[in-house]
């Protein structure tokens, strides 16, 4: 995920009224401990936020894809991340620096997310090209034009996908052109916006990352084949089309689907590394997308439960909160340090590029981070361990406008 590099410290003036600002010495120390990229010199101008996109890819059994980054990466080394990366020129033009729409969902971000997903995991989010008659019907808004969530993706042989993946990564051919040469179109319309993340101003490398959800198509066969049997290990097999593969060690060494709660539990046990954006978003969706038991939900009921989970998550993203999660913009900032090794991170600040534009983050939740002694190239790692209600830590003063549905704290 080349586009992400999230710090955990920003302007101390963002602390709640009841909290004293962190002193400069503590700020400097905390920054060196938990920042996955270097801080900018105090007198340096704010670095621009490079546009990028990432996808929370959801399998037919409602598991989430994470990629294990190589240990030599300049950011998020050895961490587990969502597929994604920089918006490239081939993905489409973006509004220029300084325009407010530069930090909003758009065609360039969507194409970048689909392209990077293919390059990094080998999973191609593309639909078969519609015949001209069906395409005209779709443009006219007729119901029989197709395009539903469970319509099949473009099927290619493993060899064809491998050749295309290499050619696109090497720049031999543009991604969209390659997809069209295979008889398909990138499924950018299937992406559901799910927060934007802006790196705080005090980091030398900064990104403006649009997050998306994407539900891989579900069929009766795959839904039944991928549920979890009572007391049994989770079934690893996916449809051939949906088996992720790493990129040969260029950026990632492994790629796999697991339920959100599994990923979180592995991070808490220190078996994997999740940085704040991944931990926070996985925590939000963990109560929506859960394993389905074959003993209590046989046959078609399994698929119905999986579909209900997806619908509930979609409603949460599109309707819950002010603004809803599809429109939230988050720039993590520290609001309290406690007992030496713990840091409480706020998620309510939207980031410097969108100040004064009415954008907001999540003012109801905070992230508790352990400042771990494990180091990577001389820097100590942050270990997110829990998403909490802000009001539970700071009383009524920190209480938001309502408790988000389905998010377990």
Whether the predicted pLDDT of 236 surpasses 50: no
Among residues 62, 56, 63, 42, the alpha carbon closest in space to that of 4 is found at 56
DSSP code for 77: T
Composition of the chain by helix, strand, coil, percent to 5: 30, 25, 45
pLDDT band at 226 (very low <50, low <70, confident <90, very high): very low
Of the candidates 312, 329, 282, the residue with the CA atom closest to the CA atom of residue 105: 329
Strand order in the sheet with 362-376: 333-338, 342-347, 362-376, 379-389
Domain boundaries, the chain: 12-125+187-398
Digit-coded pLDDT (tens) for 71-117 = 444 455 578 999 999 999 999 999 888 888 899 999 999 999 999 99
Q: Give the HSE-up count for residue 290: Cα atoms under 13 Å, Cβ half-sphere.
A: 11
Listed in sequence order, the DSSP H helices in 128-204 are: 132-140, 158-170, 175-181
How far apart are alpha carbons 326 and 281 in whole angstroms? 12
In 3D space, the residue among 88, 330, 49 whose CA is nearest the CA of residue 193 turns out to be 330
Kindly report the number of other CB atoms within 10 A of residue 69's CB atom: 23
Longest dimension (CA), the chain: 67
User: What's the rounded Cα separation, in Å, for the pair 316 and 326?
Assistant: 9
Distance CA 160, CA 239 (A): 17
Q: Which residues pair with 296 in a beta bridge?
A: none
Among the listed ranges 177-181, 280-284, 295-299, 301-305, which one has the minimum average pLDDT value?
295-299
Distance CA 340, CA 397 (A): 24
As a whole number of angstroms, the distance between CA 145 and CA 148 comes to 9
Homologous superfamily, domain 12-125+187-398 = Nucleoside Triphosphate Pyrophosphohydrolase (3.90.79.10)
Q: Are 273 and 381 in contact (CB under 8 A)?
A: yes
Report pLDDT for 402.
Answer: 33
H helices within 48-148, ranges in order? 107-121, 132-140
Tell me the two tokens of residue 148: 């539903």
| CA 202/CA 13 separation, integer angstroms | 13
Number of DSSP helices (H) and strands (E) in the chain, helices first: 10, 14
106-158 per-position pLDDT tens digit? 999 999 999 999 999 999 999 999 765 444 445 554 433 334 677 889 999 99
Instruction: Give residue-wise pLDDT tens across range 287-310.
Output: 999 998 766 555 678 889 999 999
CB 41 within 8 A of CB 72: no
How many degrees, rounded to 5, is the angle at CA 219 between CA 215 and CA 224? Answer: 105
Is the peptide bond preceding residue 166 cis, with omega within 30 degrees of 0? no
């Amino acid at each position: 995920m080349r586009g992400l590099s999230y710090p955990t410290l920003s302007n101390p003036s963002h602390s709640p009224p009841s909290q004293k600002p962190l002193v400069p010495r503590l700020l400097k120390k905390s920054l060196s401990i938990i920042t996955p990229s270097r801080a900018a010199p105090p007198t340096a101008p704010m670095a621009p936020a490079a546009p990028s996109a990432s996808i929370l890819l959801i399998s037919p059994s409602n598991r989430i894809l994470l990629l294990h980054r190589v240990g030599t990466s300049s950011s998020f080394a050895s961490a587990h991340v969502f597929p994604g990366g920089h918006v490239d020129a081939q993905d489409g033009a973006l509004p220029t620096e300084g325009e407010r729409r530069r930090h909003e969902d758009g065609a360039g971000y969507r194409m970048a997310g689909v392209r990077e997903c293919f390059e990094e995991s080998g999973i191609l989010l593309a639909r078969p090209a519609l015949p001209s008659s069906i395409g005209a019907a779709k443009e006219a808004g007729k119901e029989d034009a197709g395009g539903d969530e469970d319509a099949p993706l473009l099927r290619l042989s493993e060899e064809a996908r491998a050749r295309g993946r290499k050619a696109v990564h090497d720049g031999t051919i543009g991604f969209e052109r390659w997809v069209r040469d295979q008889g398909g179109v990138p499924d950018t319309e299937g992406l559901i916006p799910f927060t934007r993340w802006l790196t705080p101003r005090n980091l030398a490398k900064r990104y403006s990352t649009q997050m998306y959800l994407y539900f891989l198509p579900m069929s009766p066969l795959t839904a039944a084949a991928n549920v979890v049997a009572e007391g049994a290990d989770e079934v690893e097999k996916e449809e051939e089309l949906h088996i992720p593969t790493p990129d040969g060690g260029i950026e990632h060494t492994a790629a796999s689907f697991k339920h959100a709660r599994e990923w979180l539990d592995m991070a808490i046990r220190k078996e994997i590394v999740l940085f704040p954006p991944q931990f926070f978003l996985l925590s939000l969706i963990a109560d929506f997308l859960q394993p389905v038991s074959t003993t209590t939900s046989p046959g078609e009921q399994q698929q119905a439960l999986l579909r209900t989970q997806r619908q509930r998550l979609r409603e949460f993203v599109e309707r819950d909160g002010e603004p809803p999660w599809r429109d939230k913009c988050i720039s993590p900032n520290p609001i309290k340090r406690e007992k030496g090794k713990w840091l409480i991170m706020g998620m309510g600040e939207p980031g410097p590029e969108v100040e004064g534009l009415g954008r907001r983050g999540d003012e109801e939740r905070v992230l508790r981070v352990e400042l771990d002694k494990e180091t990577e190239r001389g820097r100590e790692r942050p270990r997110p361990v829990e998403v909490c209600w802000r009001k539970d830590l700071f009383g009524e003063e920190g209480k938001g406008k309502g408790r988000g549905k389905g998010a377990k704290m």
